[in-house]
Chains A and B, each alone.
Chain A
Amino acid sequence: MSKRPAKSQELSPPEDWLAQHGDALFRYAFLRLRDRAQAEDLVQETLVAALQARHGFGGRSTERTWLIGILKNKLVDYLRKGAREQPFGGLDGNDGEIDALFDAKGRWKTPPSDWGNPTSTLEQKQFWKVFADCFAALPSRHARVFAMCEFDGLDSAEVCKVFGITATNVWVMLHRARLGLRQCLESRWFGREAGRK
C-alpha cells in the first residue's frame, strides 16, 4: 500500500512523489491531452515546479490535490500555447455526421434505443473499460474540448479562452464528441446488451 502523507498535511519526501503520484498525474494529463509524450513531459514539469515551490506548501490541501493543481495550470498553459501556434481554424466543414443520423424526411434512421437504468450501468466495472476505449477513439480536438467541459466543468467561455475559438465552435465540438461517444457506447455496450436479451 502506498504511504499516505501525515494527517497534518505535510509533504512527503520529494523522492517519494514520483512513485506515489506519478501515475495519477500522468492519467490526469493523458486523459486531457491524449498524447503520451506530452503528458509525460507535463508530469515532469509539474514535479520540478513542485520541488521548487515545496516550501510554500500551505497544507490547506492534500499533497495529491496540490500536485494536481500545479499540473492543471501547466496543462492550461500548454493548451493555450498550442492553440496560439496552431489555431483550431474553422469547423471541419460538412455536417455529414449529423446528416447521416436522419433520413430525407428528417426522421431518425435508427431511432435511439432505451439505455435502461443508468445507475446500474455505472456500477459495472466492464462499462468503464468500454467508456475509456470510446473516449480514446474520439478525434483528439473534440476529446480535448469534451474533457475540459465535462471532466473539469469549465464553462464554454473559459474553454473558448484556452483554445482561442468561438463559443459556437466549442459547442459544436462538444456535441460531436458526445455524439461520437453515444455511437460507440451504443454499439459496444448497449447494443451488445440488447443482443444478449
Chain B
Amino acid sequence: MLTCKQTFLLGMESNYRQLSWRERVGVRMHLAFCSACGRFRRQMEFIRNAARRFSRDQVDADEQTRLSAEALERIARELDRYE
C-alpha cells in the first residue's frame, strides 16, 4: 500500500510523465481508502477553479492594484509625444 506522501508525489509526477500501470493502481487503491488524500485533491481542484475565476472576473479585491498618480502622469506625458 502506498503512503500518503508517495501518493502525493505520484500525483505531481503524473503531470509530466506517464505513470506505470502499477503506480496508477497504487494511487487508485490509496485514494479509495484515504479520505485525507481525497480532501487534498479537492482542495487542489478548488484552487484551480478559484484561479480561473479570479482572472476571468478580473477580481479587484486589492484596491492597490491600480496605476499610481505619478504613473498616470508619466504615461500621459509619453502618449502626448506620439499624438
Interface residues of A (CB under 8 A from B): 14-15, 18, 22-24, 26-28, 30-31, 36, 40, 43-44, 47-48, 51-52, 98, 101-102, 105-108, 111-115, 118, 121-122, 125, 128-129, 131-133, 135-136, 146-147, 150-153, 156, 167-168, 170-172, 174-175, 178, 181-182, 185-186
Say yes or no: A122-B67 contact (C-beta < 8 A), given A106-B4, A129-B62. Answer: no
**Of the candidates B12, B43, B66, which one forms a contact with A171 in the assembled complex, judged by CB atoms under 8 Å apart?**
B12
How far is A146 from B55 in the complex, measured between Cα atoms in Å?
12
Q: Is the interface of A mostly helix, strand, loop or mixed?
A: helix
Interface residues on B, range: 35 or more
Restricting to B1-19, which residues have a CB under 8 Å from any CB of A?
A: 3-6, 8-9, 12, 15-16
Per-residue interface assignment for chain B, residues 48 to 77, with 1 indicating a CB less than 8 Å from any chain A CB and 0 otherwise: 111111110011111001111001101110
How far is A153 from B62 in the complex, measured between Cα atoms in Å?
23
Q: Is the interface of B mostly helix, strand, loop or mixed?
A: helix
Query: Quick check: A111 and B36 within 8 Å, CB to CB?
Result: yes
